[in-house]
Amino acid sequence: MLPYPRIDPEIFRIGPLSIRWYGLMYVVGFLSAYLLVKRELLRLGEARRITRLDSLLFYLIIGLVVGARLGYVLFYNLDYYLAHPLEIPATWHGGMSFHGGLLGAILAGWLWCRRHNEDFFFWADRFVLPAPIGLGLGRIANFINGELYGRVSQVPWAMVFPQGGPLPRHPSQLYEAILEGPILLAIMWRARRKKWPSGVQLAVFLISYALLRFLVEFFREPDPQLGFVLGFLTMGQILSLAMLIAGGLLFRWRLTAIQQVG
């Protein structure tokens, strides 16, 4: 068993202002997305589109944060928030859903593209490339916070988490950080080199993330207010299965649509 490294979730405080690792990871993730997407636009000879990058990123940030919060409320703890509606905007109390954030970002991106007469799939393919950076950093922040820990285990690297009781558990946040970070980034970086029609890279991201998340959920403790939702499946696995189906349908649709046009 390894000792859990107690890292203060708060980096520093200035008066009432608190800078926390979780928030910093979000900022670094968004900044990385901006820089990598800008680099991709230059590589593709789309420098004219860089002027619109700030506007789109703003939409995506709002959509992601709102979607992540509403996703958690709807998918993971609806009864509580129906009884305590004033707690819904209290994101500082914790509770964000990746699947909800993804839906929020997709919707916000689609609305922006419609407003500015831009190709949604072109932009989606650009932004899924750096997405694993933010995902991996976010899981490291989960580990620092001691939240979303794994199931009870006797593996040599198991840890006792302060919020997880006295028994050692899988450090599943680190498993997710590796799978959703560098491994998913490597998959997307390889997909970037393929001469696929627009929208296919988005489909590859949806499929790849869904498979990796479905796998790692077997090591992650189910949310206590939900437990196992369907047999041995957790809510994260059910949402990932829906994501996998959506990605597969999108992959087939975009390839078929291009072939028909050709």
Where do the domains of the chain lie? 10-261
CA distances from 161 to 56, 150, 154, 176 (A): 39, 9, 14, 16
Does this model's pTM top 0.85? My answer is yes
* Tokens describing residue 115: 């407003």
Known binding residue 220? Answer is no
- Phi, psi (rounded to 5 degrees) for 230: -140, 100
Which residue do the tokens 């794994």 mark?
A: 150
pLDDT in tens, the chain (262 residues): 899 998 998 998 888 888 889 889 999 999 999 999 999 999 999 999 999 999 999 999 999 999 999 999 999 999 999 999 999 998 777 789 999 999 999 999 999 999 999 999 999 999 999 999 999 999 999 999 999 999 999 999 999 999 999 999 999 999 999 999 999 999 999 998 888 899 999 999 999 999 999 999 999 999 988 999 999 999 999 999 999 999 999 999 998 866 554 4
Closest CA to 98 of 181, 16, 21: 181
How many of the other CB atoms lie within 10 Å of CB of 196?
A: 17
pLDDT digit string, tens, across residues 15-54: 888 888 988 999 999 999 999 999 999 999 999 999 999 9
Instruction: State the burial class of residue 160 (Cβ atoms within 10 Å of its Cβ: 0-12, 13-18, 19+).
Output: middle
* Cβ neighbours of residue 20 closer than 8 Å, sequence gap 6 or more: 9, 10, 11
Q: How far apart are CA 241 and CA 223, in angstroms?
A: 18
149 contacts 4 by C-beta, under 8 angstroms: no
